[in-house]
Amino acid sequence: MAWMKTVCNVLIRPKPLMRSLLLGVALAILGAVVVRPSLQAQAATPPAALNDPTGATTGTAKDVTVKDAANPTLPEVMETVGHNKIAINFVWVLMTGFLVMFMQAGFAMVETGFTRAKNVAHTMSMNFLIYPIGMLGYWICGFAMHMGGVGAVAALGGTAPLNHEFTIQLFGHPFGLFGLKGFFLSGDTYDVGVFALFLFQMVFMDTAGTIPTGAMAERWKLTAFIVFGFFMSMFAYPLYANWVWGGGWLAMLGQNFGLGHGHVDFAGSSVVHMVGGVAALAGAIVIGPRIGKYDKQGNPVAMPGHHIPMAIAGTFILCFGWFGFNPGSTLAGTDLRIAVVAVNTMLAGAAGAMTAMIYVWLKFGKPDPSMLANGMLAGLVAITAPCAFVTSVSAVIIGGIAGIIVVVAVLFIERTMKIDDPVGAVAVHGVNGLWGILALGLFADGTYGDGWNGVPGTVRGLFYGDAGQFFAEAIGGLTCFVFIFVSFFIFFKIVEMTMGNRVSAEAELEGLDMPEMGAMGYPDFVMTPGPGESHPDYVPRA
């Protein structure tokens, strides 16, 4: 009788696992009974359509919407062709925008890999938070100030609502300063073309926003960083970006003053990278070096990054994202120049990695992995402006020079200027951003860019006969440095005087994870102090 007792127990007082098993069996039986007749009903009528395993017969004339299939009219066909063209561009802009968005992960990993284990939760969180902070700030007013007066973007079907640029008259010419349409993406900017443009421009802004987190890592107070994020996304970036990409005065240097096509920056060597790098420079100067970075004699002390594999993986994520950054900047998948842009981009990154490796190897005896990463990123930053306008040979030269520049700049900033930039953000993005736009002014070969910024003819650099283009690039670079450096220096000084930029010395020595974030990045590991940590010789900067 014992077995009957067991069965009764199972049925009457089932244990949780038994209960769910029983329920499952009951449902399966019920399902079989109910579903079977309908399956049989379907089987009675075989499918009428043939499958198309090769893809040769999918997408034909019958997919074009016409009133009378026997007599399609030309306007009807043109309607579909036009819609398809813009649709291709939309998919292109959105897809490449998604790639650029993923670069946030690359930045987070590069910066965290190059910093110390006791600060990882904090460094990661800054790189994470710039995405939501930047996005909301850009949605509130950044996008409106940046693109609100750009006019119709033909590749996106004409973003007609973006039609209000605030302009002043100087020297008898109009100087566009900022846009005034698209606040909160509301009103008549509730438009598919405007939204596509917003997504693409927003992730670019965020790239600029995340660059200073590297230069100011391991000592930046999180609250101060949050204020910075809003300042960058709402005001600083949108202003300069408007001047170059939003139809502002730097873009008009060609039309107004005959300087080539005005300041041309294809994908943002100046607009994104130099803005981020120069803001990083101002921030690193105001916040001062990490405790222990310089000894009493002022000599820099090595503070090795805690996770080189993370940094290298992050570099590759950035490199991959750059296929969105540069080719996407055509804003048109139908502009087949994207092939040239993509190849130039990868070539310059490769050249930068190689020259940095060779230079560091010859100089220090070993090819430092952190400098390999910086070298590749430097090549990518430098080609960002000229990628659409140069030959592949020029792309390799531009990237190769960038790989040397970045090493020289890292050493100069650290040893001569005594500015502590843990990840080399100023050297990679600031210095090579400048090199990128100057390189466009030198190497643009006149095969592309007809009508750019409203100037007829293609874009030519100094080496191809247009000195004016080089001057326009130089003016754009100078403006970027002066405007961004001054505004961020003042911004960081105001923060310094009110809330403070920097965590306490105790928090910095302990690591920022607990004091700033309340959670350790690596709770299961014992941290051993590296060189420079809790350095007795630390002298705070005056």
Partner 1 sequence: MKLIKSVVRPNKVDDVRDALEKINVPGMTVTEVRGHGRQKGHTAIYRGKEYNVSLLPKVEIEVVVQDAIVDDVIKAIITAARTGEIGDGRVFVLPAEHSYNIRTGEKDV
Alpha carbons 38 and 33: distance in angstroms, whole number: 10
Alpha carbons 10 and 26: distance in angstroms, whole number: 15
Q: What is the DSSP letter of 236?
A: I
- The reply to whether 404 sits near partner 1 by the rule CB under 8 A is no
Q: How many helices (H) and strands (E) does the chain have?
A: 19, 2
Choose, by CB under 8 A, the member of 160, 180, 358, 411 that binds partner 1.
411
Choose, by CB under 8 A, the member of 21, 531, 537, 541 that binds partner 1.
531
* Torsions phi, psi for 221 (to 5 deg): -70, 135
Choose, by CB under 8 A, the member of 341, 532, 535, 538 that binds partner 1.
532
| Least Å from the CB of residue 414 to partner 1 | 8
Site string for partner 1, 31-70 (x = CB under 8 A): ----------------------------------------
| Least Å from the CB of residue 322 to partner 1 | 23
Alpha carbons 329 and 49: distance in angstroms, whole number: 41
Identity of the residue, 248 or 424, whose beta carbon is nearer to partner 1 in the bound complex: 424
Alpha carbons 314 and 294: distance in angstroms, whole number: 28
Task: Name residue, tokens 């005087």.
Answer: 497
Site string for partner 1, 318-357 (x = CB under 8 A): ----------------------------------------
337 burial type by CB count under 10 A (0-12 exposed, 13-18 middle, 19+ buried): middle
* Torsions phi, psi for 300 (to 5 deg): -70, 145
Identity of the residue, 112 or 330, whose beta carbon is nearer to partner 1 in the bound complex: 112
Choose, by CB under 8 A, the member of 196, 281, 410, 428 that binds partner 1.
410
> Is residue 351 classed as helix, strand or coil in its secondary structure?
helix
Alpha carbons 470 and 422: distance in angstroms, whole number: 33
Nearest to 435 by CA among 315, 269, 282: 269
- The reply to whether 360 sits near partner 1 by the rule CB under 8 A is yes
Identity of the residue, 293 or 460, whose beta carbon is nearer to partner 1 in the bound complex: 293
Q: Which stretch binds partner 1 (CB under 8 A): 86-94, 150-158, 254-262, 366-374?
A: 366-374
- The reply to whether 366 sits near partner 1 by the rule CB under 8 A is yes
Structure tokens at 499: 């809330």
Task: Name residue, tokens 């805690």.
Answer: 306
Identity of the residue, 20 or 299, whose beta carbon is nearer to partner 1 in the bound complex: 299
- The reply to whether 309 sits near partner 1 by the rule CB under 8 A is no
- The reply to whether 280 sits near partner 1 by the rule CB under 8 A is no
Q: Using CB under 8 A as the criterion, which residues of the chain lie in contact with partner 1 when the complex forms?
A: 300-305, 360, 363-366, 368, 370-371, 407, 410-411, 414, 424, 528, 531-532
